[in-house]
Amino acid sequence: MYDRTGHVLILISFLFRRGFVRMSWDGYIDNLIAQTKDSSGAAHCDRACIIGLDGGAPWTTAGHANALQVTASGCIVISKYQ
């Protein structure tokens, strides 16, 4: 039986490994900020970033308007506080 889903996943995996596709979590920055709003609608956060807990790799980019700018060494320090 021919499994199209498996072939698509293999292609996507190949594209990620070769650097043709780069995943970014930038779309979640606005969502994170929106979740900080209180009952009056005031946001209690204006910048955000997402980093991996396994070494501090940044998952969001500095290109987002509301990205929190954290240095690579800062990401590593933050990732140690799990």
pLDDT class of 2 with cuts at 50, 70, 90: very low
Q: Which helix (H) or strand (E) holds 14?
A: helix 4-18
DSSP tag of 39: T
Count other C-beta atoms under 10 Å from residue 61's C-beta: 13
Contact criterion met (CB below 8 Å) for 44 and 64: no
Q: Enter the pTM of the model.
A: 0.64
What is the tens place of the pLDDT at every residue in 19-40? Answer: 555 567 898 999 999 999 999 9
pLDDT class of 81 with cuts at 50, 70, 90: confident
Token code pair at residue 33: 């900020």
Q: Cα separation of 32 and 30, whole Å?
A: 5
